Amino acid sequence: MADADVIPIGSGGRPGRGSARRTTPSAAARSLAGKNYQRPEPDPQSEPDDLVDGPTAEQPAVDELPDFAGFEQVVRDMFGDAGERKVAEWLAFLRRRLTGQYEVDEFGYDAELTDQVLLSGLRPLAEKWFRVEVRGIENIPDTGSALIVANHSGTMPLDGLITQLVVADHANRPLRTLAADLVFRTPFVGELARKGGATLACNDDAERLLREGNLVGVWPEGFKGLGKPFSERYKLQRFGRGGFVSAAMRTGVPIVPCSIVGAEEIYPLVGNIASLARLLGVPYIPVTPFFPLLGPLGLIPLPSKWLIEFGEPIRTDEFPEGAADDPMLVFNVTDQVRETIQQTLYALLMQRRSVFF
C-alpha cells in the first residue's frame, strides 16, 4: 500500500484560505469573545480582504463544526498509538476506490482489495475461531513460482480461503487460486473470486500464472472432496487426471503438498438433497446437524481446531522434455502427491488433541 499522508485528527490540516493575512478576528475568535465584542472599523490602508467572516456554505459557523476530539480519542482507544495512521490509510484506500485509482491484472485480480478487505475479514475467523496452527511454511519458496496442492473438504470452500490467508500472512506472498467454473457462473461470487485472485481451474490459466512467477493453489478433489459425507472425513478422493502435475512439469516449478486438518468438522455433512441440487444445477445441497434445521444460524461454522502443514517440495524441473505428455509419469507423480498429503493428514490427526481444542 502506498504510504498515506497523515494529517493528525482534530488539527486544522494544511494551510488553506484561512492562512491569508487578515485584519479582523476570525469567526472562531469572535465567538470566544462573547457578546461584548464589537467589530472594528476596517482600515482603509489595509489590503482588500476577500474572506467572508460570517458562516457560509464553505465556512460553517463554529457551532456547526464537528468536534473531532472525541473521535480522536475513540480511534486511539481502539487502535492504539498507530490509530491515526490506520485511519489515514483507510481513508486513502477509500479515496482510491472512489476515484478508480487502483489496478487489476489481466485475470481481474485486485491486490489492494484482497489485502485490505477480503483477507482482513477472514483473519479474525482464522485466528480466533479456528485457531489455525501453521507448519512447514519454510517449504514455500520466497521467490519464484510454485504449485501448492491441498486436500479439499468442509462442505463450503473455506479451506481454500484460509490457505490463501495463511500464505499471505506467513509467507508474505499472494496465493493465486484455481477454482471450478461453477464459482464464476454464480452471480456476485464469481466477480468477487476474480478480484480475490482466483481464476478458472484449467491448464492454460495455471501455466500462465506459473510462468509469471506466481504462487498458485489448487484443490484437485474439487466438489468430490467438499461434498463427501462426514463418515468419509480425511479420506482423500481422486485427484482427477493430474492436470495440475502436467502444468507444473511444463513450467518446471516445484509442487508443495499441503495438508489441512480441521475443515472437515466445520459443517459435518450428513445428507444431501439431491433432487433440489439437480434442479438448481449444483453438485449438492448439504444437510448438516444444524442446516437447514436452524436456518441461517446453521451456516455458522463449528469452531474446530485447524492444523495446516506444507510439505517438502516435489521438484519437476528434473524430468525430461515432454514428460508432461506421458500419462503414466503424470499419474505416478499425481499419486505421489496424493499419498504424501494422505499420510500427513493421518499424522496431524494423531497430533491434534481433540476436534475443538
Task: Show me where the domains of the chain are located.
Answer: 1-7+51-102, 111-266+301-351
Residue 40 binned pLDDT confidence (cut-offs 50, 70, 90): low
Residue 31 pLDDT greater than 90, yes or no: no
DSSP string, 119-170: HHHHHHIIIIIS--EEE-GGGS-SSS-EEEEE---SSSTHHHHHHHHHIIII
Calpha distance 326→310 (Å, rounded): 27
What angle is formed at CA 349 by the lines to CA 348 and CA 353, rounded to 5 degrees?
A: 105
- Residue 294: predicted pLDDT: 93
Q: What is the pLDDT of residues 201-218, one digit of tens each?
A: 999 999 999 999 999 999
Average pLDDT estimate for 262-267: 96
Q: Measure Cα distances from 167 to 18, 141, 271, 352 in Å.
A: 50, 11, 33, 21
Residue 50 binned pLDDT confidence (cut-offs 50, 70, 90): very low
Is the pTM higher than 0.85? The answer reads no
Residue 24 pLDDT greater than 70, yes or no: no
Q: What mean pLDDT value characterizes the chain?
A: 84
Highest mean pLDDT: which range of 26-40, 71-85, 179-193: 179-193
Share of the chain above pLDDT 70, in %: 76
**What's the CATH class of domain 111-266+301-351?**
alpha beta
Residues near 303 by beta carbon (within 8 Å), at least 6 away in sequence: 129, 130, 131, 356
Q: Which residue has the higher pLDDT, 225 or 75?
A: 225
Calpha distance 148→324 (Å, rounded): 18
- Residue 72: predicted pLDDT: 58
Residue 18 pLDDT greater than 70, yes or no: no
